[in-house]
Chains A and B, each alone.
Chain A
Amino acid sequence: MSALARSVRAVFAAAIIPLASVSQLAVAQDARLVGRLAPPTLAAITGILDSARVAGVPTEPLVQRALEGASRNVPPERIVATVRAWSSRLKTARTALGPSSDAELVAGASALYLGLAPARLERLRRTFQTVHGSRDLVLPLIVLADMIERGVPRDTAISVIETLGAARVSDESFQILRQSVVQDIQAGAAPGAAASTRARLYAKPGAVPPIRQPPPESSGV
């Protein structure tokens, strides 16, 4: 290759590489965000999306958070901070959980926000993998988040999920546990006591009855 040819190639490369970046940026700009966010916010969010994409983090949850912030009239800087934090948590969740569905990563990221340490998330994954095989953690993590939101102390809620996970409790049982705890709390029980007592009850093998109404009163018995 002649020196001239090398020079021409270098010039082309110098011209094309920025063009390619611009093109990638344009692709990264989610059409749903255009018009919903102010241009500076859109640019910042787009940058976060690009980084996430490079890191292998799912971008759809990030787009949704930006849209949610816009719909709820959240100040732009907080939208950006939220999306950035979500990107970081998704990355952490992926590290802790390993290969996971987007739903599981989102549930994991939510749990991290609510105070679950990455190491405990990783331990949860190991526990469930050991006990349940390939079962995902989406529902247990949703239940965990819900309990914390309803006032169950964080450590208690985490212990409950760990205990039930180790006890081979099914997804259905996790749902029943959540509903039971919610009802107990509505009935005036202390959230922590409700969760831990229910967990003790349901951790026993075969202890979770189906949700059914009480039987009707019968004149016969």
Chain B
Amino acid sequence: MKQLLRVKVRLGMTVVLASASGMRGLAAQAAFATTVDVGAPSDASTSGVLPRLLGGRATLDSRAWALALSGQSLRAADGVATTFGSASSTRRFLENSSLRLSVGGDVLAASRGNDPTAWRGAVRAGPTSSGRAGQFDAYAKLGRIIDGADGRGLHGFGLQFGRTFSRGTITMRAEQTSFAIFQAPVRDTTYYVLEFPFHSRRTPTLARSHYVDATTQIAWRVRGSEWALDLGARSGGIATEGSRWARIDAALPLGGPVLLALQLGTRPGIPELGLPTMRAAAVALRFANAWRFGGGLDSVATNGVVAPRVARFALVRSSDGATSVVLRRVRAAVVEVMGDFTGWEAVRMEPHGRDEWRLALRVAPGLHRVLLRVDGGDWRPPPDLPLTSDELDDRVGLLLVPS
């Protein structure tokens, strides 16, 4: 098996365009990379943690000129995720252009593979993971490859299943891609591709182009940093392919607008492209001033694997009509709450799990003002609640309890 090792040092800076568009939080990114060796692009770690960026990247390679433009504008607020990219190089594996648009959970994608006559398109529809515990994902893809050489197309239908488990700061997603029907009427061969295909008729491995990938990703957060471990196994693969791979990604805020992204491990091969399993190591520095680091990791959504860890204060009503105020994702020794529903007397909340606090009490329908105190500090409005103020000065949170 051919081994490729890439050590990539990427330096870049981010120019914010947010002021021009007012509030979109978009930024342009330009970066230069020095590639010691060759390998597949590896942006997995950083793409997920720069959700507010729209960027382009130019890559200067030591062996070959390469130009790669990629962009990502992930909007946690309204669920609009847009990714587009284009890459071109003298190296075969980079000859790929893609466009990816997704709104909510729907994905429309088109890409052009390394075979200049092959295009592919796909529409994916279905719910997507938001990192909620126990969430089950299933979505279907419909694809079509238009083979420009003989004018015939390939039609496919596939299913992807996944399940997300969350506990504390750890999220695990298991996913299996099963493209069961993908018929390619070329060379009188009907074959099945169990991954969305990059199809190349010249690739001999297509003679055995059916395989199943099972992948698992475990992501967790440690003090603002984000780590993800990808494990995968392939069955029915091609002889030149490794049957297992593992990769670890880390995104480490360095303070200020600097993020250190690390990646180490192996990546699965892409037999349709003739790419073997690769070993990859990447180090990247990213600069952004559209993104708040430190606490910022708590305020932005990541790539959908790790749920946003922003603290939440909410009212929970159980089936028997009892109500509780719940504060989530706050690590503290003591949490107290006071407001209209406590007669403005401080009441301790009870710990409930690792970073959740609860207080069962009767809360009448209406609009309630509320304050929170953590570890004996100042009284502050609870996170995520609307604010207001009056002659008593300090801001308070507003909790609207429907009748």
Q: Which residues of A contact B (CB under 8 A)?
A: 32, 64-65, 67-72, 74, 78-79, 81-82, 85-86, 101-103, 106-107, 110, 113-114, 138-139, 142-143, 145-146, 149-150, 176, 178-181, 183-190, 193-194, 196-198, 208-221
Contact = CB atoms under 8 A, between A and B. Distances in A.
A215 B23 contact: no
B18 interface: yes
B44 to A, nearest CB: 7
Contacts of A221: 100, 107, 109, 111, 122, 124, 141, 196
Contacts of A64: 340, 344, 369
Given A71-B338, A71-B345, 19 more contacts: A32-B343, A64-B369, A65-B392, A78-B392, A103-B366, A103-B400, A114-B389, A183-B77, A197-B23, A208-B78, A209-B80, A210-B104, A213-B308, A214-B303, A216-B128, A216-B173, A217-B48, A218-B124, A219-B177
Interface residues of B, number: 85
Interface in B265-321: 268, 289-292, 299-301, 303-305, 307-308
Contact of A214 (B196, B304, B369): B304
A153 to B, nearest CB: 14
B388 A110 contact: yes
Given A188-B25, A196-B22, A198-B23, A215 B102 contact: yes
B26 to A, nearest CB: 10
B104 A209 contact: yes
A216 B340 CA distance: 41
B398 interface: yes
In the complex, which of the residues A85, A142, A179, A212 has the most CB atoms of chain B within 10 Å of its own CB atom? Answer: A212
B213 A187 contact: no
A81 B391 contact: yes
A48 B111 CA distance: 71
A54 to B, nearest CB: 22
B47 A217 contact: yes
